[in-house]
Amino acid sequence: SEQNFDVVIIGSGGAGFSAAITAKNAGANVVIIEKMPTVGGNSLITGGQMNVPGNWVQKKVGIEDSIDLFVKDTLKGGDYLGDPEMVQILAEQALPAAEWLRDYIKVDFYNDQLFQFGGHSVKRALIPRNHTGAEWISKFMAKTDELQIPIHTRTTATALIKDQSGRVIGVEAEKNGQKITYNAKRGVIMATGGFGANVAMRTKYAPELDNRYGTTNARGIMGDGIVMAEKLNAKTHNMKSIQTYPICHIDTGVISLIADSRFFGAIVVNKEGHRFVEELERRDVISRAILAQTDQQAYVLWGGEIEDIAGVVGVHKDEFGELNRKGMMFKADSIEELAHKFGVDEKALMAQVGRVNKFAKAGDDKEFNHRGGLKTIMKPPFYMLVAKPSVHHTMGGLMTDTHTRVLDTQGKVIAGLFAAGEVTGMTHGSNRLGGNAITDITVFGRIAGKEAAAQ
Ligand code: ADP
């Protein structure tokens, strides 16, 4: 069958929704197509924090920040491989994008709390209600309903259609084995996310990231948009830069939030009962170190002193329940009992904890020079969970210009084709800083929607 629209948006994450709503408000007849049965992609399962320099919460709590400082942090955090012009737009458009989310989309942000992720000079990340992307996606859904924007789920885009001049004029898609042609009078917006869940594709660029790694990504995140655009000679950028997260569930690959105890002094040991890496090392360093251990797993251990400050078991009750049922996390009154449950060398672990307690009291970690300072692990109850690293975010992707137009290998614009979000490779350089993805998808999603509608 055939369907006619002005703008066709592929993918229903934050980038796709931002683009669709903006294009619709600019007078275009739009559709979102989504291959999964449900909307949201990775945007649904993220913590959802959004970096916005000069935001209203900063003003309220008295934090000085600037567009320049955000640009500097972002470029430095990505080893200066991000595109400075695009990062400048990211920084300048962050506040208007956040105000749009707050006032028009009705995203509920906490108005007295901010997050500060690694690599940021100040606290600048707005926090959506309940610290999850579900807040974004549910509000985006309500707005698309109100605007009567159709969302075609279980519909997989398979190819871009171009005319004789090379202009993109539509999308070939498949639903339940049936072919559907979507004609796009003004443009197609690629918002398909990254390729973190595609083992074959990620090992093509980073051979190390094979199936020893799980993934934190939603199932649909297979790099389809990049592959489709490459068939039209689109240029990719920075594809080797793939971020891993070290402490994830060993069965599902999902990020462990309960193990954020690590930021408060929890130690990471191997089956032999030894620490093997500084617990606050870079994500990639810890990930590699874990894969070099027996069973390619690690065990995170903490006690009452740390739980009293971190409060992670209290906050993440559901995670504890699930891991506990599956035999992947236990709480006990003695460390010996935990070692026994996981088959970790009990004697060696007790000796290791003894050394940690000594280093903690002396304020000097003689083994790994823990930068946050170790804490004692003496007070019951004790907690232990098993973890392994997962692929988290793909920084590389399609090359776009400042109007989000996709560029070809000659650096020329591919007419009619726009891209925004994780499918692009412009802003994060070698390493995406926490809280920058939401800013990226909203800012460039809005630009893509406006530009495509204006064709
Ligand atoms: P971003 O953060 O860039 O918005 P997300 O990961 O949140 O990206 O969302 C991307 C969405 O695109 C996911 O819901 C995913 O299932 C969808 N998607 C990926 N490939 C296709 C495709 N070929 N056809 C339709 N939808 C797709």
Rounded to an integer, what distance in angstroms lies between the CA atom of residue 155 and that of residue 159?
A: 12
Instruction: Report yes or no: 335 and 277 within 8 Å, Cβ to Cβ.
Output: no
To 10 degrees, what angle do helices 134-146 and 14-25 make? 30
Rounded to an integer, what distance in angstroms lies between the CA atom of residue 228 and that of residue 220?
A: 15
For ligand 1, atom 14, which residue shows the shortest CA distance? 41
Q: 8 C-alpha to center of ligand 1: Å?
A: 13
Cα 91 off chain centre by? 18
Q: Residue 297 pLDDT more than 90?
A: yes
pLDDT digits (tens, 9 = 90+) for 212-240: 899 999 989 999 999 999 999 999 999 99
Q: What is the arithmetic mean of pLDDT over 268-276?
A: 98
Least confident range of 375-379, 380-384, 434-438: 434-438
Q: Residue 416 pLDDT more than 90?
A: yes
Rounded to an integer, what distance in angstroms lies between the CA atom of residue 3 and that of residue 32?
A: 12
Q: Residue 118 pLDDT more than 80?
A: no
Residue 130: pLDDT band (50, 70, 90) is: confident
- Position 234 scores a pLDDT of 98
Q: Are strands 178-190 and 298-302 parallel, antiparallel or unpaired?
A: unpaired
- Position 13 scores a pLDDT of 97
Q: 255 C-alpha to center of ligand 1: Å?
A: 19
Point out the ligand 1 atom lying closest to the alpha carbon of residue 17: 4
Q: What is the arithmetic mean of pLDDT over 186-210?
A: 97
Rounded to an integer, what distance in angstroms lies between the CA atom of residue 141 and that of residue 38?
A: 11
The complex scores an ipTM of 0.98
Averaged confidence pLDDT in the chain: 96
Least confident range of 201-205, 332-336, 380-384, 432-436: 432-436
- Position 147 scores a pLDDT of 98
Q: Residue 371 pLDDT more than 90?
A: no
Cβ atoms within 10 A of the Cβ of 95, count? 17
Task: Tell me which residues have their CB closer than 6 angstroms to ligand 1.
Answer: 10-16, 33-36, 40-43, 156-157, 191-193, 220-221, 224, 421-423, 441
DSSP assignment string, 258-314? GGGGGGGT-EEE-TTS-B-S-TTS-HHHHHHHHHTSGGG-EEEEE-HHHHHHH-HHH
Q: 85 C-alpha to center of ligand 1: Å?
A: 25
Point out the ligand 1 atom lying closest to the alpha carbon of residue 445: 4
Q: 13 C-alpha to center of ligand 1: Å?
A: 6
- Position 155 scores a pLDDT of 98
Point out the ligand 1 atom lying closest to the alpha carbon of residue 16: 4
pLDDT digits (tens, 9 = 90+) for 282-294: 788 899 999 999 9
The catalytic residues are 283
